[in-house]
Structure 1
Amino acid sequence: MKPTSQVRTIAGYLWPNSPAAKSARACSAASAWRAAALLHTIVQLEPLPHRNSLFAAFVTSQYLDQSGEGIDSPYGALSDLVRKARESRLKIYDITDTLRSWRI
Structure 2
Amino acid sequence: MQPPPRSSQTPPRFGVEPDASWRASGLLHTALLLSPLPSLNVRFACAVTAACTHTGDEGIDVPYGEPVELCEDLIAGKDTAFGVAGRIRSWRIRSWRVPSWRVRP
The answer to whether the superposition gives a TM-score over 0.5 is: yes
Whether the 8 Å CA contact 2:32–2:75 is kept in 1: the answer is: yes
Greater RCO, CA 8 A, separation 6+: 2
Partner of 1:37: 26
Where structure 2 has 5 or more consecutive residues not aligned to the other structure, the ranges are 1-15, 94-105
Q: Report the alpha carbon displacement of residue 57 of structure 1 after superposing the two structures with TM.
A: 0.4
- Paired AA for residue 47 in structure 1: P
Could you say which structure has the larger radius of gyration?
Answer: 1
| Number of residue pairs aligned between Structure 1 and Structure 2 | 78
Partner of 2:13: none
* Secondary structure at the counterpart of residue 47 of structure 1: coil
| Percent of paired sites with the same residue | 37
Q: Distance in 1 between matches of 2:76 and 2:84?
A: 13
Where structure 1 has 5 or more consecutive residues not aligned to the other structure, the ranges are 1-25
Q: Distance in 1 between matches of 2:28 and 2:67?
A: 11
4+ aligned runs moved over 3 Å, structure 1? none
- Name which of 78, 86, 89 aligns with 1:100: 89
- TM-score normalised by the chain length of structure 1: 0.70
